[in-house]
């Protein structure tokens, strides 16, 4: 795991999960990783009928504020899986 400098205070796993759950109703979110690099797995009904790219864009839009700036807490999403429920 690499290390990424950030000014973020708090639990970044909770922040990622909360941001996705706020943007995608009834989502089940699992977050792993650290050091700026994360693995995210999201299951939600909203993904039904959407392409993988469309589904992933919804997730990235939800966490964009956590990826913005040089010292953002999320440097990279190494793996993003989306599943329709």
Q: Are 8 and 63 in contact (CB under 8 A)?
A: no
Residue 46 resides in a domain: yes
- pLDDT, tens digit, for every residue of 35-71? 899 999 999 999 999 999 999 999 999 999 999 988 8
Structure tokens at 62: 């939800």
Residue 7 resides in a domain: no
CATH of the domain at 27: 3.30.300.90
Domain span at residue 29? 12-84
Residue 73 resides in a domain: yes
Task: Give me the pLDDT at residue 1, please.
Answer: 46
Residue 42 resides in a domain: yes
Q: Which residues are 38's β-sheet partners? A: 33, 77
Rounded Cα–Cα distance for residues 39 and 61 (Å): 16
Residue 2 resides in a domain: no
- pLDDT, tens digit, for every residue of 1-22? 456 677 778 899 999 999 999 9
Q: What's the total number of domains in the chain?
A: 1
Residue 19 resides in a domain: yes
User: What pTM did the predictor assign?
Assistant: 0.91
């Amino acid at each position: 795991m690499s290390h990424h400098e950030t000014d973020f205070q708090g639990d970044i796993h909770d922040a990622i999960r909360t941001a996705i759950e706020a943007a995608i109703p009834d989502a089940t979110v699992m977050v792993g990783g650290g050091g700026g690099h994360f693995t995210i797995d999201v299951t939600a009904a909203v993904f039904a009928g959407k392409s993988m790219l469309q589904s992933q864009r919804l997730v990235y839009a939800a966490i964009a504020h956590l990826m913005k700036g040089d010292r953002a807490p999320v440097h990279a999403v190494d793996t993003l899986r989306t599943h329709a429920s």
